[in-house]
Amino acid sequence: MRITLGEYIFDISTDENEKYYKNERYVSEGCECDGCRNYELAVEQVSYEIREMFKRFSIDIKKPAEVYVNYSQNNILCYGGFYHLCGTIIKRESPWEIISETKNSAVSHLNENRMIWLEKSFRIAFQEGCALLNENSPLPCIQMEIAAYLPWVLTKKNIYEC
Ligand SMILES: [Zn+2]
């Protein structure tokens, strides 16, 4: 299925994504740390637009392949992470910038301002290079990177706040 989003055009298999996300585990089943448990609850409160975007791709927002807390400020947690989905990128706008390059390696940086802003607090970008693939990963696989600012919603103390 062809999906256009911002500067990107995709060919996405929503059927494969549905199968994959049905069998994947919730983020809190894979890791019990506060950051992951908070993510799973906080995404219940994201806006209609964000939920619709995930629905278009048939991605379960509670099942990222990886999610982590970068920092917390005023009880808003800055999350990084990514989701896997089945399909190919037909046209892309790369938000990755190469900072330094030698003959053998390149260091790149994800420029949040060049990601797709679903809204100010939720940005996404896509790439073909996928991390943490396993035997269940959908193929061909693309990776949706996120930068999300989500509130602390657990009743316990926020250990990320300094
Ligand atoms: Zn965790």
Distance CA 117, CA 26 (A): 25
Phi, psi of 108 (to 5 degrees): -120, 160
C-alpha of residue 90 to centroid of ligand 1, in Å: 33
C-alpha of residue 103 to centroid of ligand 1, in Å: 35
Q: Exposed, middle or buried: residue 68 (CB in 10 Å: 0-12, 13-18, 19+)?
A: middle
CA dist 158 to 101, 122, 161, Å? 38, 21, 6
Residue owning tokens 């990514």: 82
Res 78: pLDDT = 97
Confidence of residue 151 (pLDDT cuts 50, 70, 90): very high
C-alpha of residue 162 to centroid of ligand 1, in Å: 18
C-alpha of residue 11 to centroid of ligand 1, in Å: 31
Share of the chain above pLDDT 90, in %: 75
C-alpha of residue 102 to centroid of ligand 1, in Å: 34
Res 13: pLDDT = 97
Summarised one tens digit per residue, pLDDT across range 24-47 is 999 999 999 999 999 999 999 999
Eight-class DSSP state of 92: -
> What's the CA angle centered on 86, arms 13 and 124, to 5 degrees?
110
C-alpha of residue 39 to centroid of ligand 1, in Å: 9
C-alpha of residue 126 to centroid of ligand 1, in Å: 22
Distance CA 30, CA 47 (A): 25
Summarised one tens digit per residue, pLDDT across range 80-127 is 999 999 999 999 877 888 888 888 888 888 888 788 888 889 999 999
Res 103: pLDDT = 85
C-alpha of residue 118 to centroid of ligand 1, in Å: 24
